[in-house]
Amino acid sequence: MATLFMIILIIFFAILAKYALSETKILKLREKAGQVKIKDEFKQRLKEETNKEIMLNLKDNLRYEIIKDLEKDYKKIIEKLEQENKELKEKLNKQKENYKEYLKNKEQNIKKGQDYEFKIKTFYENLGYKVYPNGYINKKNDKGIDLLAYKNNELHLIQCKCYKNPPKQELIRKFIGDCEVYIKNNQHKLKNKTIYKDFVTSCKNKDYGVIKYLEENKNIINYLIIE
């Protein structure tokens, strides 16, 4: 009986030892699994933090590159605007100089024209005419007639052109037209007057078109060259 009891006790302790060993392994496995889980969580968190840091660095780098590119573009725009501004100033200065030169030449041409009109006025006065300086007095409103020379029943309507180059046919035609308008508008003053149309120029050469026109239209206009 005692022997049986001992056998049962031995079996009980053997089972208990085996169970205890199994529990120990289970605990160890659980502990190991927990460590693995912790390591995995740490790795995942480290990975997330690393990715986050990488993304932040990428954003910073991208922002830096964008700002850098913008600065380059801004610098190019500024340089372009400065160049355009410089060119505009040069253009304006050139236009100012050209305009000053234009006014100077215009003033010289006006004086030259007035001097020539005075010369032609003196020429007709020396021939015994009384001369009215219509162009000098009325300026742009002279209606194309620079001088009016009177003597007895004669009236000379005179256009003066102080030119280096030969006047063109168009100027002759225009002067004739201006004379016809003047005659029409002043018929009450021109009764019993013999009217002559005198186109006077300083250029000793004649344009071919003018030569042909004068040949085909004789006695319509007097073409005089007075240098």
Between 125 and 217, where is the model more confident? 125
pLDDT at 110: 79
Q: Domain locations in the chain?
A: 108-225
Tokens of 213: 């026109």
- E-strand spans in 104-193? 130-132, 147-151, 154-161
When the pLDDT of each residue in the chain is averaged and rounded to a whole number, the result is 82
Provide the token pair at 6. Answer: 């001992």
- 120-168 confidence digits (pLDDT tens): 999 999 999 999 999 888 888 888 899 999 999 999 999 999 999 999 9
Give residue for tokens 């225009």. 174
Sign of torsion over alpha carbons 110, 114, 115, 116? positive
* pLDDT at 115 (0 to 100): 92
Angstrom distance (rounded) from CA 198 to CA 185: 19
- Tell me which of 52 and 91 has the higher pLDDT: 91
User: In this predicted model, which residue has the larger pLDDT, 79 or 154?
Assistant: 154
Query: Can you name the residues that pair with 196 across neighbouring β-strands?
Result: 156
Token pair belonging to 9: 């006790």
Q: How confident is the model at residue 104 (pLDDT cuts 50, 70, 90)?
A: confident
108-225 CATH, one of 3.40.430.10, 3.40.50.300, 3.40.50.720, 3.40.1350.10:
3.40.1350.10
DSSP 8-class letter at 141: G
Query: CA dihedral defined by 75, 81, 82, 86, rounded to 10 degrees?
Result: 160
Q: Which residue has the higher pLDDT, 211 or 38?
A: 211
Least reliable range by pLDDT among 41-55, 94-108, 109-123: 41-55
